[in-house]
A and B are shown apart, each in its own frame.
Chain A
């Protein structure tokens, strides 16, 4: 059932099968999400700038999620020596970097009217910036070594060490007194965000994740085909 997550040829078959429906669902969810955002109410304090949230939150969520996926695949790859995990690591690192960058940029565009500065040295902001630098180092390491096995495994070890940062990002708003607000959507408690804003936010999170999946599928497929050609 879940063999396509570890087997390259099954992955290609599965992605060919799912690719067209995925694009349609993504387009639909984007259109629906944009309509919902247009209709969603303005915040009584923040006004129009609250709509930056619908870009900021999904990209922040994806930035962390992609690193977590890379961490899981590094463990799988190092423990069970599965080649597809290293392919996925290489393919989705730039996507994570782009989402982290978009999270940082949209956050600083949100911070300028609300907090009065583009950037504060706050725990949440600093740890996300460190995450961005970690993504950049992963991309650089991908260009550095000549030998492929060395490159893949060293990147996996680096990802594993760098994953210490993930819980720091998650809990930084709880552990330290920060300017950044704590999480509004939580699995365990009822959300502290109004339902009219929660609906478009969830739809945008879905749309952003689907876009990430589409780009990831394209990149992973290209990488698999390149490696098959060279073997």
Chain B
């Protein structure tokens, strides 16, 4: 029971932090919409063209705008020492990483789910495509949170090369993009591709807490 109480305390703390930094989330969503506008102005407003390439553009922009917030997953807590205090209060680093992934998924990826139908309107997507987009993004964004946790924990002590964290996320997100856009573009049965996407999500949920915890331990030891 004690561990459940600690987990609820963790999430209530994350919720408070989320409220204090809510403009960060709003600017991420604004970045998403602004980049959609820029994209549409760059390729022209041909409705047929926008409908064919809309899904891919929405996916790529979702990826880019959700990577904006990943650097914040561990950085503040690492700098002010909260990570060490959490560990001293009995949570293992693996559990902390897992909870951080879940909280990043809830607080920073779910709001994008709400903004997907509005973005679909700009591209004249029909309702089926939007529903499939929401289904795939709700799985894919979990993978993005895992990747974000890995790259954020790897770059805790990185003071020179800031873009390499995004490089790591982009590299591993290629299979996610391939399968998710494949699901939407396949007309008939897409359950097999959806299963593959689920499989990738499970693999990354299995890998990322351990690797993040190893990186956090390294960073704390060499702070």
On A, residues with C-beta under 8 Å from B are 78, 126, 130, 133-134, 137, 140-141, 143-147, 149-150, 153-154, 157-158, 160-162, 164
Contact for A157 among B157, B164, B211, CB less than 8 A: B211
Interface assignment of B181: CB less than 8 Å from any CB of chain A:
no
Provide the bound-state CA to CA distance between A160 and B218, in Å.
Answer: 16
On B, residues with C-beta under 8 Å from A are 150, 154, 157-161, 164, 167-168, 171-172, 174, 203, 207, 211, 214-215, 218-219, 222
A-B contact count (CB 8 A): 52
Q: Which residues of B contact A146 (CB under 8 A)?
A: 157, 159
Q: Which residues of A contact B161 (CB under 8 A)?
A: 140, 143-144
What would 5 A/B residue contacts be, using CB atoms closer than 8 Å? A133-B167, A153-B218, A157-B154, A157-B211, A158-B168
Q: What distance in Å separates the Cβ of B165 from its nearest Cβ neighbour in chain A?
A: 10
Provide the bound-state CA to CA distance between A160 and B210, in Å.
Answer: 12
Q: Which residues of B contact A144 (CB under 8 A)?
A: 158, 160-161, 164
**B171 with A157: CB separation less than 8 A:** no
Excluding A144-B161, A147-B157, A158-B154, 18 further A-B contacts by CB distance (< 8 Å) are A78-B214, A126-B174, A130-B171, A130-B174, A141-B164, A144-B158, A145-B157, A149-B222, A150-B218, A150-B219, A153-B215, A153-B218, A157-B154, A157-B211, A157-B214, A161-B150, A161-B172, A161-B211
Provide the bound-state CA to CA distance between A20 and B160, in Å.
Answer: 41
Provide the bound-state CA to CA distance between A220 and B92, in Å.
Answer: 37
Q: Which residues of B contact A126 (CB under 8 A)?
A: 174
Name A's interface SS. helix
Provide the bound-state CA to CA distance between A217 and B207, in Å.
Answer: 33
Q: Which residues of B contact A160 (CB under 8 A)?
A: 211
**A137 with B167: CB separation less than 8 A:** yes
Q: What distance in Å separates the Cβ of A83 from its nearest Cβ neighbour in chain B?
A: 16
Q: What distance in Å separates the Cβ of A127 from its nearest Cβ neighbour in chain B?
A: 9
Chain A, residue nearest B200 (CB): A164
Contact for A154 among B159, B171, B218, CB less than 8 A: B218
Given A133-B171, A137-B167, A157-B154, check contact A147 B222 (CB 8 Å).
yes
Chain B, residue nearest A156 (CB): B214
Provide the bound-state CA to CA distance between A97 and B214, in Å.
Answer: 26
